Amino acid sequence: MDKIRAQYDAILEKQGSHIDISQMGIDNLIVDEAHLFKNLAFETSMEKIAGLGNQQGSNRARDLFIKTR
């Protein structure tokens, strides 16, 4: 988990300064078609377990995670 968090932090640092949602006065965020963003990267020591999905995750899910973090 720390490795993934470090990767996301590195991506955020490359983007420079950003505006936080709380600074914009937004209370809620509703994502339509949320199933398109469900494949976020994860780490596990288990292999070949049905239903775990792709450990690398998708760029779309990572992008939404970073934008809503």
User: 8-38, pLDDT tens digit by residue?
Assistant: 788 777 766 666 666 677 778 888 998 888 8
Q: What is d(CA 44, CA 67) in angstroms, rounded to the nearest whole number?
A: 25
Percent of the chain with pLDDT over 90: 6
Do residues 39 and 61 lie in contact, with contact meaning Cβ atoms separated by under 8 Å?
A: yes
pTM equals: 0.51
At residue 54, φ and ψ (nearest 5 deg) are -85, 120
- Looking at residue 18, what is its pLDDT? 67
Residue with tokens 């450990």: 55
